[in-house]
Amino acid sequence: MISREPTLERLAIAEQLMLAPFGLDEAVLARALATIGEHRVDDADLYFQTTRHEGWSLEEGIVKSGSFSIDQGVGVRAVAGEKTAFAYSDDLGVESLLDAARTVRTIAAAGQSRRVKVGRAARKVATSRALYSPTDPIATLDSAQKVALLEKVEKLARAKDPRIVQVMAGVAAEYDVVLVARADGTRAADVRPLVRLSVTVIAEQDGRREMGSGGGGGRFGLGYFQDAMVQRYVDEAVHAALTNLESRPAPAGDMTVVLGPGWPGVLLHEAVGHGLEGDFNRKGSSAFSGRVGQRVAAKGVTVLDDGTIADRRGSLNVDDEGHATQRTVLIEDGILKGYIQDSLNARLMGVKPTGNGRRESYAHVPMPRMTNTYMLGGDKAPDEIVASIKRGLYATNFGGGQVDITSGEFVFSASEAYWVENGKVQYPVKGATLIGNGPDALTRVSMIGNDMKLDSGVGVCGKEGQSVPVGVGQPTLRIDRLTVGGTA
């Protein structure tokens, strides 16, 4: 059997789903782009997308809801200088596409002086790669098997400990196909599977109730959730709930804080990652603006954004502008090396795109967004780092948080944390919040573990009303003199 090159295979799938049934072909795409190019613009693209999503949820021992949706459409964009004109339609017909193209071409009425006319360009195919299989995850298990998977979660959780009084579980699968046609002639497509299994449990003891959660996923089929993986998620959720049953009010004040590996990297994502996105830095509104080449973190701190990790939730073969994703070093040994870029901000800043142009759907404009953002490991054993705490907090899991991009100020709530004295874990605490400044906190990193770990595949990032799947990660970290807001 002879198989096609991966990029050509994805283009064929996308054309079969979104072009051929609606009378669209290469000539129509070229005509739409040429219509936009009748005025002088810096860039233009067409973004076709079709998405099928299915979800099931279980609560109180029964499947309470199931959902299935299909969404498809096209977004048409023209860019001149800093200005963007954008139109979208859920009708993929020829006339709807050309109407959208005529709508956005008026952008050329104003813009920067250095503009180039977008004309007909020779067709060229995006760089080839295959980070995940172009499978339809919805079809990898039938309905009965999906229900059985949720029932298995319920059974395992209740069997784990008699104090578990409630179990909630959910499974979701998405089949997303996109096609990008750029004014420079580039044609790119991606077929993006995405699955997630989540479990939340409530434990009760002596009238006190506490919650714990677990789960994960990535860009593969539902067959990933074998017995061992399901048991792992259940164990994590039950452990968190039972630990919180024993928790005491968290102390408050400035203290040493040690962050566990994996999901606690969400603090890095929020407090540092957003501040390294190109749009904020081009506009001068980020705490990191104009600081490339300067020390912004302690020695040993290296932060990357990497959209090329196989099967990861935040990975993409190409971004939503048709550029190949990259492994971008943002901070190296404490020195700021660069920013995360989409095409618009990269052009205006005189640098190359980094493959981070992302959008929630065809109905949204792209912007620079993270993929998988993480800190590399160091040389310290995790136990050694915890043992170094005289009096402080050891936080192993986080809930919600927020950050002010301009100042870098952040607030995060720890969902699982422990009080440590003289290097010994004393007891779990509840209600701890970490308060600080992202750039400042990076300079206070004093120990870096050798246990770098990525999260299990649950992250969703919001920015300007758009949500996209992302990954985070880090090793065990010691941060000196971080403010902890507690309840004690």
Q: Rounded to whole angstroms, how far apart are CA atoms 416 and 96?
A: 51
Across the range 416-442, mean pLDDT stands at 95
| DSSP letter, residue 71 | E
Average pLDDT over residues 30-46: 91
CB 119 within 8 A of CB 34: yes
Strands 466-469 and 327-332, by their bridges, are unpaired
Instruction: Check residue 225 and give left, alpha or beta (phi > 0: left; psi -120 to 50: alpha).
Output: beta
Relative to beta strand 391-403, strand 253-259 is parallel
For residue range 366-410, list pLDDT tens digits in order: 999 999 999 999 999 999 999 999 999 999 999 877 888 888 899
Contact 45, 322 (CB under 8 A): yes
Average pLDDT, integer, range 226-230: 97
Q: Please provide residue 257's backbone torsions phi and psi, each rounded to the nearest 5 degrees.
A: -125, 130
Please tell me the predicted confidence (pLDDT) of residue 5.
84
Give the pLDDT of residue 447: 98
Dump the DSSP string for 93-137. SHHHHHHHHHHHGGGGGS--S---B------EEPPP--SS----G
For 161, the token pair is 């400990």
Does pLDDT of 114 surpass 80? Answer: no
Q: Which residue type does 293 have?
A: G
Give the whole-angstrom CA distance, residue 387 versus residue 364. 48
Q: Are 88 and 103 in contact (CB under 8 A)?
A: no
Task: Give Cβ neighbours of residue 410 (< 8 Å, ≥ 6 apart).
Answer: 267, 270, 271, 401, 402, 403, 404, 434, 435, 436, 437, 438, 441
Calpha distance 193→357 (Å, rounded): 19
Residue 112 has pLDDT above 80, yes or no: no
H helix or E strand, kind and range, residue 238: helix 227-245
Beta bridge partners of 195: 173, 218
**Helix/strand/coil for 221:** coil
**Residue 286, CA atoms < 13 Å, CB-side half-sphere:** 25
Q: At what angle do helices 227-245 and 143-160 cross, to 10 degrees?
A: 40
Instruction: Return the pLDDT at 399.
Output: 85
pLDDT of residue 486: 79
Residue matched to tokens 């800043």? 349
Per-residue pLDDT for 108 more than 60?
no
